[in-house]
Amino acid sequence: AYLDCSQGRPQTTTLLLLTFIAACCPIEEVCASIVRSHRETSQYRVEELQALRWKLFSREEIHAYQSKSMDEMWQHCALRLTDAVQYVVEFAKRIPGFRQLCQNDQIVLLKNGSMEVVLVRMTRAFNTENSTVFFDGKFAGTELFKALACSDLIAAVFDFAHSLCALRLTEQQVALFSALVLINSDRPCLEERGRVERVKKEVELALSHTLHRDNQEGLMNKLYQKVAILKSLCSLHIEKLRWFRQLYPLTVHSLFPPLYKELFASDTDLPLLGIHH
Ligand SMILES: O=S(=O)(c1ccc(F)cc1)C1(c2ccc(OCc3ccccc3)cc2)CCCC1
């Protein structure tokens, strides 16, 4: 009788259907598995980063980084970024529903979202009191990155870190926000947008469920505003990379990590992402 809509009682049917769907994969389950995946793939634990937050580079060490050639420092950061991206790939593969997406879409989501998740995760390694970020084992200020000759990108990365830290997200909120950033059904060239949309809805529900439980529903739209800033940051990164590549084509071609090149520097396929079934 419940399923019979002829009596015009859609609200009961909808409620029943929603309950049925929830019963398949209770939202707490989705939350728990994303938070667990985040913890297992976060490269550094928050406790470790907290313990190191006042371990700063000496003037001599900063000078050594500043004296590196531009291509050497770019290569160094590209290496660090590629390390971080590999953990994000592992995180993605453990998000419920991600592995069930077609391979093309998994690659599209990682190509467009991995840098964004790296930047979200970076805020865990950021000390807002002295504007330093965890880099090569200690905490560094913007001046350390001078040799990159892209102070606008660095400043934008630091500003973003400050603005996301200001939201004082819990680890669970960082985990769920990272999953939401990754599972973005608006990415270009998705083949099965509808399926990505369904996975995204699950993640959105998990995040809003957690924010409701934390009594912080207001955070949701603030987080969506951060998504817009992430998008512009990543475009700036790609723009700077194109500029750098014109100056040092050989460095990018033969000295940058292959995964970095495939994710950020070309439209080739991504066999290295290791998401083959
Ligand atoms: O520690 S980092 O090397 C770092 C670099 C610049 C910065 F301002 C703050 C941190 C790292 C990172 C690497 C490359 C990034 O953008 C792309 C980029 C920027 C500049 C040069 C090359 C690539 C952003 C972040 C943070 C997370 C993983 C590594």
Query: 51 near 125, Cβ under 8 Å?
Result: no
Indicate whether residue 234 lines ligand 1 (CB < 6 A). no
pTM here is: 0.88
| CA 238 to centroid of ligand 1, rounded, Å | 12
| CA 126 to centroid of ligand 1, rounded, Å | 12
d(CA 277, CA 248): 36
Read off the tokens for 191.
């083949």
Predicted local confidence at residue 20, as pLDDT? 65
Query: 127 near 136, Cβ under 8 Å?
Result: no
Residue 133: which H helix or E strand, with range?
A: strand 132-135
Query: 204 near 32, Cβ under 8 Å?
Result: no
What single-letter DSSP state applies at residue 245? H
Query: 70 near 149, Cβ under 8 Å?
Result: yes
- Ligand 1 atom 21 nearest Cα: 74
d(CA 99, CA 27): 18
Read off the tokens for 257.
């990590």
Task: Please give, one letter per residue, the 3-state secondary structure of 145-214.
Answer: HHHHCCHHHHHHHHHHHHHHHCCCCCHHHHHHHHHHHHCCCCCCCCCCHHHHHHHHHHHHHHHHHHHHHC
Q: Work out the number of other CB atoms within 10 angstroms of the CB of residue 54.
A: 12
| For the CA of 80, the nearest atom of ligand 1 | 29
Task: Please give, one letter per residue, the 3-state secondary structure of 44-112.
Answer: CCHHHHHHHCCCECCHHHHHHHHCCCHHHHHHHHHHHHHHHHHHHHHHHHCCCCCCCCCHHHHHHHHHH
| CA 253 to centroid of ligand 1, rounded, Å | 19
Per-residue pLDDT of the chain (277 residues; tens, 9 = 90+): 444 545 555 566 777 776 666 566 689 999 999 999 999 999 999 999 999 999 999 999 999 999 999 999 999 999 999 999 999 999 999 999 999 999 999 999 999 999 999 999 999 999 999 999 999 999 999 999 999 999 999 999 999 999 999 999 999 999 999 999 999 999 999 999 999 999 999 999 999 999 999 999 999 999 999 999 999 999 999 999 999 999 999 999 999 999 999 899 875 445 566 554 4
Query: 192 near 54, Cβ under 8 Å?
Result: no
Predicted local confidence at residue 267, as pLDDT? 55
- Ligand 1 atom 25 nearest Cα: 81
- Ligand 1 atom 12 nearest Cα: 81
The sign of the CA dihedral 78, 80, 85, 90 is: positive
Query: 229 near 237, Cβ under 8 Å?
Result: no
Mention every residue, 6+ apart, whose C-beta is less than 8 A from residue 234.
Answer: 112, 115, 116, 119
